Copies of this chain bind each other. A is one copy, B any other.
Amino acid sequence: MQIGELASKCGVRIDTVRYYEKQKLLIPSGRTEGGYRIYSGVALRELRFILRAKSLGFTLKEIQELLTLKIDRENQPCSSVKELAETKIKDIEEKLAELGRIHQALTGITEACCGGEEPATACSILDALDKEDS
């Protein structure tokens, strides 16, 4: 697969793919004689992962760290991999908790909305978040 197909399959521009390569995030598996980049199915999965991680607030640098997190006993001390992974897990757990709270708050708002006949008082997401603090 060449760059145009990869890009359109993921809904990004060709330049973005080349930009990710410059950032060492997405390396093509090879080149044609004429210099065209060639991508495999792995690149497709990687690019999709990059895009989803990005939408979750990870920077490209963090995504690169996630992608290069590998257990490979031959070459790397297990402990360093594990340490980095555990740091990332903590970050992600915080994000999960926070997203969960926002989700609860929003659900609370929509439920209060048109739920009954009594006049629902004005209610902001901040108020709803407070109710979840318990």
Interface residues of A (CB under 8 A from B): 42, 45-46, 49, 52-58, 66-67, 69-74, 78-79, 81-82, 85-86, 88-89, 92-93, 95-96, 98-100, 102-103, 106-107, 109-110, 112-114, 119-126, 129
Closest to A57 in B: B57
Report how many copies the assembly holds: 2
CB-based contact B125/A107 at 8 Å: no
- A98 partner, pick from B56, B112, B124, B126, beta carbons under 8 A: B56
- A129 partner, pick from B49, B93, B107, B109, beta carbons under 8 A: B49
A98 to B49, CA, bound (A): 10
Chain A binding surface SS class: helix
A53 to B79, CA, bound (A): 32
Contacts of A123 in B (CB 8 A): 70-72
